[in-house]
Amino acid sequence: MASTTIEVLIEGGKATAAPPLGPALGPMGVNIGQVVNDINNKTASFKGMQVPVKVIINDKTKEYDIKVGTPPASALIKKEAELKKGSGNPEKDLVGELIIEQVIKIAKMKEDDLSGVDLKQKVKEILGTCNSMGVKVEDTRAVETIKKVDNGDFDKEISEEKTEVSEEEKKKLEEERKRLAQEVEAKRVQLEAKAKKILEDNKDKSIEDIRKIMDESDIPVGIINKLAPRTGEKKK
């Protein structure tokens, strides 16, 4: 049977008949309200995240099937870690923490999109993404957690596909997230003060020279752009 596939990106649980979904469904002769409700039911667990959705419609019977993809691994990591964004400098600044059960959960959600041959390899892929976002796992940098996975430290959890997180563990993770946020903010204030001093001590030099001095002093590019924007750039 011939079918038509409509692909859209919607926020989990918040599909509406407005564009882009409504106008695409309009000519297809399906119950738009029902399709919207079905999509929202299927994507409710992805609240706050953009989710790829396919609506496959039988051209003759008008019956339809909904296929829900998964958000990027980075979005799932942010949700599990309760973060708005990853670290701007993951080599130096950690912004959140997960435990191995949460990593297993994400790996299972993304298993069709990951290249690993088994769950253990897929877990390592998610850990790699955690590392690039400045999210530590099991109280250590994710790159070190990968080594622990290789050593078999989490074989039991992975083989049993454990994904549950206790309330006590959630509380500890939240406390650590707050501590890391305070640490990052204190470091930002310190670096910004250092950058301001460089700016004051070198006010007779060109902006490019000042930017170079700041860069050599390990001032993050965000602070450099804020305090010493190039000609034509506005201070942020």
Q: How many CB atoms lie within 10 A of CB 142?
A: 26
Predicted local distance difference test score (pLDDT) of residue 90 = 93
Q: What is the pLDDT of residues 153-211, one digit of tens each?
A: 999 999 999 999 999 999 999 999 999 999 999 999 999 999 999 999 999 999 999 99
Predicted local distance difference test score (pLDDT) of residue 1 = 63
Residues of the chain predicted below pLDDT 50: 236
Q: Tell me, which fold does domain 3-68 have in CATH? A: Ribosomal protein L11, N-terminal domain (3.30.1550)
3-state secondary structure of 140: strand
Peptide bond into 27 cis (omega under 30): no
| Strand positions, DSSP E, the chain | 3-11, 50-58, 64-68, 96-98, 135-137
CATH homologous superfamily of 73-165 equals Ribosomal protein L11/L12, C-terminal domain (1.10.10.250)
Q: How many CB atoms lie within 10 A of CB 65?
A: 12
**Measured distance CA(185)–CA(201) in Å, rounded:** 24
Predicted local distance difference test score (pLDDT) of residue 234 = 52
Predicted local distance difference test score (pLDDT) of residue 232 = 58
Q: Pick from 129, 65, 69: which is nearest to 102 by CA? A: 129
Predicted local distance difference test score (pLDDT) of residue 233 = 53
